[in-house]
């Protein structure tokens, strides 16, 4: 009976992980579509961003990279049954995720109020800065929810296999967000002039 429950659990967890990969694949397609739209718009009309990216974007990049390091440490702790360390590193990751979010919002403030670059302006290619970072921030909110789910699971008495599964799901999604932001930021840097 117990073996049958574990087998059903394993199949259920596998389906959830597959769903996460499908979500990531569709997100990659979404961002690829935005990048393609920017290239077609700016290439066809000779418009570049004609703006220097705010320094806040660089700082947020360092923050999200560091958050991936703390998440990796949380995963290592989970695999060695060091739940206290896992919880601590997960909270660090969440704090860094919130800091990333706040720095990105500050970058929007700099763009809008200090550089006078708005979502709607004559050079529509500049709007893509808001599109790229805004859609990424929506994904960050989802990522923070996944991280919160993983950290709250450490406070409950759940089987270790489920704890590891929650860590794997959080790691897959958060590392994807890290890589996606680095790609978007580099793309913006390469097209800023």
Residue by residue, pLDDT tens for the chain (193 residues) are: 445 445 545 557 778 888 899 999 999 999 999 999 888 887 755 567 778 899 999 999 999 999 999 999 999 999 999 999 999 999 999 999 999 999 999 999 999 998 888 877 666 778 888 999 999 999 999 999 999 999 999 999 888 888 999 999 999 999 999 999 999 999 999 887 7
Q: Does domain 2-190 have CATH number 1.20.120.80?
A: yes
User: For residue 40, how far is the Cα from the chain centroid?
Assistant: 26
Name the residue ranges covered by the structural domains of the chain.
Answer: 2-190
DSSP label at residue 81? T
The phi and psi torsions of 7 (rounded to 5 degrees) equal: -65, -45
Q: What kind and span of H or E run contains 145?
A: helix 127-153
């Amino acid at each position: 009976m117990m073996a049958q429950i574990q087998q059903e659990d394993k199949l259920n967890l596998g389906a959830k992980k597959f769903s996460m990969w499908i979500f990531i694949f569709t997100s990659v397609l979404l961002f690829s579509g935005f990048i393609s739209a920017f290239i077609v718009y700016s290439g066809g009309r000779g418009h570049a961003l004609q703006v220097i990216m705010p320094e806040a974007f660089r700082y947020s990049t360092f923050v999200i990279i560091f958050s991936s390091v703390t998440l990796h440490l949380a995963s290592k702790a989970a695999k060695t049954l060091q739940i206290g360390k896992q919880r601590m590193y997960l909270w660090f990751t969440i704090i860094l995720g919130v800091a990333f979010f706040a720095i990105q919002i500050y970058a929007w403030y700099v763009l809008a109020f200090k550089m006078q670059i708005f979502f709607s302006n004559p050079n529509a290619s500049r709007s893509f800065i808001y599109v790229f970072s805004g859609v990424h921030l929506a994904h960050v909110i989802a990522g923070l929810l996944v991280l919160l789910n993983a950290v709250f699971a450490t406070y409950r008495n759940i089987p270790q296999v489920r704890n590891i599964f929650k860590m794997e799901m959080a790691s897959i999604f958060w590392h994807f967000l890290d890589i996606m932001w680095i790609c978007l930021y580099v793309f913006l840097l390469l097209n800023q002039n």
